[in-house]
A = this chain, B = another copy of it.
């Protein structure tokens, strides 16, 4: 159907009526933004966006391992495409991955009439949301690919996020939760980006001046892009909303999980899971993924051999992307 093919990268909107967030807020209308790529394909993939991810920057494997799948790419609440502080009056101060999964489940079942997902995939926050999917709808998701992520945000990861958060909250041009910021860069976003920047990759990456491979002649040039240009168009309150969801990420806190022990929670996963942390990720550390892999009945642990740290999983470095693509292809068979 030519029309379907043409709509491959068109942003779609699904509206949910009277949606109740976990924090108790109920809104008469909230929306999910998503892409529906290759809608005629017989197998279905579900991909969630990451922290600073937009729908169109979250299609890394669409032309690779997932090219024969119908791919639903869906934006997390708070990313500025789905309902977020910047685009929805009364949006709650705290959102939760369970909110994202409940809304997405309605989208997939009631609206798109998809009866199961063959592979759910996510990087970073997208991986956390994917973990929630495997536990909130264990039989709906057949396989899960978790890239540079974790089932529970570590204390170290939590504390790292306190840095950029505080840099923004205390900045001279942050005007509070209720202010609609202009979308341009600001000193607060610059401070946010600076406080985040050294975590993104790895010490080895800096040592070997890998920013050159991205076209930056000097560290200062890379810094300028990373801490300013990268944040153009991002609303401060949207970033803070998602950051809070990330900090609270913890599958043992899913209502009804019944145990605060990670091993008990992860024992509930029925999907086959491919875990691909990066060997040099400074905050979603491979050691945590390895521990998780031992708590999941059918897990495959494949750490990315790269000095790109967390960014290895985002699709920015060709070698890492090809490595992941091949591992995903083998995993989904």
Contact = CB atoms under 8 A, between A and B. Distances in A.
Interface of A: 154-156, 158-160, 162-167, 169-174, 187-188, 190-191, 194-198, 202-203, 205-207, 209, 219, 223, 227, 282-283, 285, 287
A224 to B, nearest CB: 11
A163, A165, A205, A207: which has the most chain B beta carbons within 10 Å? A163
A167 B155 contact: no
A194 B167 contact: yes
B203 A154 contact: yes
A163 B159 contact: no
Given A154-B206, A155-B206, A156-B207, A195 B167 contact: yes
A166 B206 contact: no
Given A159-B223, A166-B227, A167-B194, 11 more contacts: A156-B203, A158-B219, A162-B194, A162-B197, A162-B227, A163-B167, A166-B167, A166-B191, A194-B195, A203-B285, A203-B287
A158 B154 CA distance: 25
Contacts of A173: 170
Contacts of A205: 156
A160, A205, A219: which has the most chain B beta carbons within 10 Å? A160
Contact of A219 (B159, B188, B209): B159
A7 to B, nearest CB: 42
Nearest to A169: B191
A206 B153 CA distance: 12
Contacts of A159: 197-198, 206, 219, 223
A278 to B, nearest CB: 14
Contact of A198 (B162, B169, B190): B162
Contact of A282 (B158, B171, B195, B282): B282
Given A166-B227, A171-B170, A172-B170, A156 B206 contact: yes
